[in-house]
Amino acid sequence: MSFAATILTLYPEMFPGPLGRSLAGRALEEGIWSLDTVQIRDFAADKHRTVDDTPAGGGAGMVLKVDVLAAAVDHAVARNALEKLPVLAMTPRGKPLSQARVRELAGGPGVIILCGRFEGFDERIFDGREIEEVSLGDIVLSGGEPAAIMLLDACIRLLPGVMGAPSSGSEESFEEGLLEYPHYTRPVEWEGRTIPEVLRSGDHARIAAWRKHQAESDTRSRRPDLWEHHNDARDQPASGARRETKEPDQ
């Protein structure tokens, strides 16, 4: 059964965009996932096909109208009536997306994704239609479409049959709550920089120990937030002691 993605947008021509290429594009052609776009403007009730209005209370920008959004969401839900799909809205006010949530979504039947433009959505849509607000990080995009493409890309690569080597999905960044270890390939020396000796040793145990150490030390220095979380998860119940990374034999 294929993973069904429905995108509600004012710019359906932005899809599949990059998702029509490479791994995701091939998977789309093979029917591993399917894409359906819904033009939000088709659900405007007036003859000018108005989708937005000025913000209550004043201020800059325009707000997407709740009645138009609800009609578009209801249409998408009815079109996918055989499965109960989660309905997500891309917004910088949402819960930050995690690899764990991506894994859950990829394991399900699909998603309906609402993309906003302008200042945002009328807040009442989220409760009114059980919508999960999702953020791609503390940056402001000009609309939800690029965020929806990123979310879908992250889900699609996890679908069975999309990635060649099954292990490359489980050893990578965030799967263990750590950044992934660094990679190198030939030439052995480039502008005076060499591939670490251990990776050329052929000693698989030493290589595994080195990679684990690199993953831990890079996470600790680059992403103290992830490192803290990783240790809290390992130290159940919390010991309060800060774990150090041990140097492997060089």
* Interface ranges with ligand ADE (CB under 6 A): 90-92, 135-137, 139-141, 144, 147
In whole angstroms, the minimum distance from the beta carbon of 89 to ligand ADE comes to 8
Task: Identify which of residues 147 and 179 has a Cβ nearer to ligand ADE in the complex.
Answer: 147
In whole angstroms, the minimum distance from the beta carbon of 147 to ligand ADE comes to 4
Name the residue type at position 53: D
Task: Identify which of residues 101 and 211 has a Cβ nearer to ligand ADE in the complex.
Answer: 101
In whole angstroms, the minimum distance from the beta carbon of 66 to ligand ADE comes to 18
φ, ψ at 109 (rounded to 5°):
-80, -15
In whole angstroms, the minimum distance from the beta carbon of 173 to ligand ADE comes to 19
DSSP result, 121-186: E-THHHHHTT-EEEESSS---SSSHHHHHHHHHHHHTTSTTTSSSGGGGTSSTTTTSSPPPP---S
Name the residue type at position 239: S
- The sign of the torsion formed by the CA atoms of 87, 89, 95, 100 equals positive
Task: Identify which of residues 129 and 213 has a Cβ nearer to ligand ADE in the complex.
Answer: 129
Task: Identify which of residues 59 and 164 has a Cβ nearer to ligand ADE in the complex.
Answer: 59
